[in-house]
Amino acid sequence: MAALHYTIRPVDPAAHLFEVELELDAPQSGMRFSLPVWIPGSYMIREFARNIVWLRAEADGTSVPIAKTDKHRWQLGKLPAGASSLKISYAVYAWDLSVRCAHLDRSHGFFNGTQVFIAVEGREHQPHRVTIDAPSDPALSDWIVATALPEAGAPRHGFGDYEAASYDELIDHPVEMGRLTRFEFQVRGVPHEFFINGAHDCDTARLAVDLEKACTEQCALFGDAPPPFARYVFLTTVIGEGHGGLEHRASTALLASRNDLPWRGMKKPSEGYIGFLGLCSHEYLHSWNVKRIKPAAFKPYDLAQENYTKLLWLFEGFTSYYDDLALVRAGLISPDEYLKIVAKTVNGVRRAAGRKVQSLTESSFDAWIKYYRQDENSPNAIVSYYTKGALVALCLDLALREKSGGERSLDDVMRHLWAQRGEDSAGVAEDEMPEIIRAATGIDLGRLVHALTEGCEELPLQKVLHGVGVELAWDAESEAPVLGAKTAADGDQLRLVNVYPDGPAHRAGLSAGDTLIALDGLRISASRLDGLLARHAAGDVLKVHAFRRDELIETELVLAEPEAIKAKLSLAARASAPVRARRNAWLGQS
């Protein structure tokens, strides 16, 4: 028996239950065990221990006491004299269809180690052996296993023994099991496997070719060496509607709409497929940027509580910048298609009033309580370190290109980060990025970095884009006047989802959650709103009837002009030769 040996079994797919056994030698009375309360890459306390259904312990075959001491820890009681081995058994309820937790039914099984493997405190750095058992139901005998976890006797894609050098490595290799579609491609001699769970009509040959191009481009960002793993695995679950990903050291877990996958005969890439390629590109780049180049605050992770950093704009924002940029550089989308994606990002940031009150460093620090726990006021109070962080990366990249005459770029910064802050380094300190940029490029952008990340002023997009021959124009999203609120259909009624500060709905005393029932004495619904607004002009006064809970509200609302917040990006027709050269280098065009 290995020093630490887990066995995990999909004992009851219909009840969504995994059973886990943890065996260890040389047990001691009072030993403590714990389960993480969050998973790296998803910055919210999730309290995985709530899914433990039951737990018991026995030493040398005899039951011994084990008590819970807080929400995620257990402590062993007094052991019999001379006890040489300990087994802890427990059941895990797995019914969270996401990339963060665990899910089990008769169609497949999936788990992250943070939800199913209890840690032995003080022994986290020992080797950890895992036996993954097959389901006992003969109808599921054709299931296979997909994981980047190193085999220790198990056949490739089979049930059996796997191993990890430490607990940290153990929980960084998610596992998928089921009837999976599989294909493979190579990046610089390293095998990359892609698995799909769920009904689909994917053109896997096309997806393999396109992913190989995107991954090769991301690898090239960091130099000429092979990627920093021996094998990489994409684990994808497809459903009717879904989108999400979570990075790991040699794999990623993805959730996607089946309609976003390419189909045989598809000619031009659909918007959904481009988005899916961007998602794969994003999670793949994380293999460098956050899995190995980390904030100093994450070295090591403390999985018992929040780990605060002001740098998520770097680790998520820069990754969000390069995920789509890699697609145009790899020739998977055109420059015009790429500019449409950037414009969509600009629009998302510009629509949210939260950009005026929360800085990127504040957004990063407060991710634990704000970004991952959004409510009806979030658009007015927060800014996304993903989307605004991507635009900050764009601003820094284009500023470096212009100041250096095209000789330096953000690519140099990423390569410098990999060389100096990758793998076994101490990580990136909270206020270190201006010096890292200067060391990588010889250019001092300290004041700009501070303004873009610590302040709430509008980003200098027009200026930096002009430097690469891209024109930015602003339009209103509609010709009709606006309510100053986001609405949604609620059955046959119209509900206010968000009310924007200083807008017509706000000034009229309306709030998120209110249900509009009549405007100017006429019943209103989601299907009728646009037509009604089109018949009015800014400044018109509407009499509003609404329900707040079960109480009727009567008020007057003054319609406003729509804001010019819709960005349109286009290649400048008359850019100079140096500007065109910088643009081509930026977009990877010959």
Peptide bond into 300 cis (omega under 30): yes
How many whole angstroms separate alpha carbon 286 and alpha carbon 284?
Answer: 5
Whether residues 168 and 109 share a domain: the answer is yes
**Residue 14 in this model has a pLDDT that exceeds 60:** yes
The DSSP-derived string for 138-198 is GGGTT-EEEE-SPBSSSPTTSSEEEEESSHHHHTTS-EEEES-EEEEEEETTEEEEEEEES
Angle of helix 318-329 versus helix 387-403 axis, rounded to 10: 70
Residues 161 and 246 in one domain: no
Answer yes or no: is 563 within a domain: no
Q: Is residue 322 part of a domain?
A: yes
* Mean predicted lDDT score pLDDT of the chain: 97
Domain that residue 468 falls in? 288-472+574-590
Q: Which of 258, 239, 260, 253 is nearest to 282 (CA)?
A: 253
Mean pLDDT for 412-435 is: 96
Give the strand pairing for 128-132 and 4-12.
Answer: parallel
Closest alpha carbon to 225 in 251, 191, 250, 188: 188
Average pLDDT over residues 228-236: 98
Domain containing residue 511: CATH number? 2.30.42.10
Helix (H) or strand (E) holding 465: helix 461-466
> 590 or 425: whose pLDDT is higher?
425
What helix, strand, coil percent values describe the chain, rounded to 5? 30, 30, 40
**How far apart are alpha carbons 388 and 453 in whole angstroms?**
9
In this predicted model, what pLDDT tens digit does every residue of 482-511 receive, in sequence order?
999 999 998 889 999 999 999 999 999 999
Is residue 43 a part of any domain in this protein?
yes
Residue with structure tokens 């977009």? Answer: 587
Q: How confident is the model at residue 559 (pLDDT cuts 50, 70, 90)?
A: very high
- In tens, the pLDDT along 50-107 reads 999 999 999 999 999 999 999 999 999 999 999 999 999 999 999 999 999 999 999 9
Residue 281 lies in a domain: no
Per-position b or e across 62-90, b if 16+ CB within 10 A of its CB: eebebeeeeebbbbbeebeeebeebbbeb
CATH number at residue 204: 3.30.2010.30
**Res 249: pLDDT:** 97
CA distance 282 to 316: 9
**Are 384 and 496 contained in the same domain?**
no
**Percent of the chain predicted with pLDDT > 90:** 98
End-to-end CA distance of the chain: 58
Cα 317 from chain centre: 11
Are 211 and 194 in the same domain? yes
- Do residues 215 and 317 share a domain? no
pLDDT tens digits for 110-157? 999 999 999 999 999 999 999 999 999 999 999 999 999 999 999 999
Claim to verify: residue 202 and residue 330 sit in the same structural domain: no
Q: What is the pLDDT of residue 424?
A: 86
Residue 72: inside a domain = yes
One domain, residues 11 and 27: yes
Cα(327)–Cα(213) distance, integer angstroms? 8
Whether residue 490 is found in the same domain as residue 466: no
Taking residues 450-472, what's their average pLDDT? 97
Residue 567 placed within a domain = no
C-beta separation of 108 from 97 below 8 A = no
Radius of gyration of the chain (CA): 27
Q: 235 and 332: one domain?
A: no
Domain boundary among 126, 155, 178: 178
pLDDT at 1: 44
Tokens of 470: 């891209």
Q: How confident is the model at residue 551 (pLDDT cuts 50, 70, 90)?
A: very high
Task: Write the CB contacts of 482 (distance below 8 Å, at least 6 apart in sequence).
Answer: 503, 504, 533, 559, 560, 561, 562, 563
Same domain? 65 vs 147: yes
CATH code of residue 106: 2.60.40.3650
Do residue 382 and residue 493 come from a single domain?
no
Calpha distance 341→586 (Å, rounded)? 15
Find out whether 18 and 94 touch, Cβ atoms under 8 Å: yes
Where a domain ends, among 238, 270, 302? 270
pLDDT mean over 551-573: 96
For residue 505, give Cα distances in angstroms to 389, 481, 546.
30, 12, 11
**Chosen domain end from 132, 158, 178:** 178
Any alpha helices (H) in 221-296, and if so which ranges? 271-285
Is residue 279 assigned to a domain?
no
Residue 431 CA to residue 453 CA, distance in Å, equals: 11
Q: Which residues have CB under 8 Å from 167's CB, separation 6+? A: 117, 119, 120, 123, 124, 125, 128
- DSSP-based three-state secondary structure for 407: coil
Provide the number of structural domains found in the chain: 4
- Flag whether 396 is in a domain: yes
pLDDT band at 2 (very low <50, low <70, confident <90, very high): low
* Residue 238 DSSP symbol: E
Domain shared by 116 and 229, yes or no = no
Q: What is the mean pLDDT of residues 239-248?
A: 96
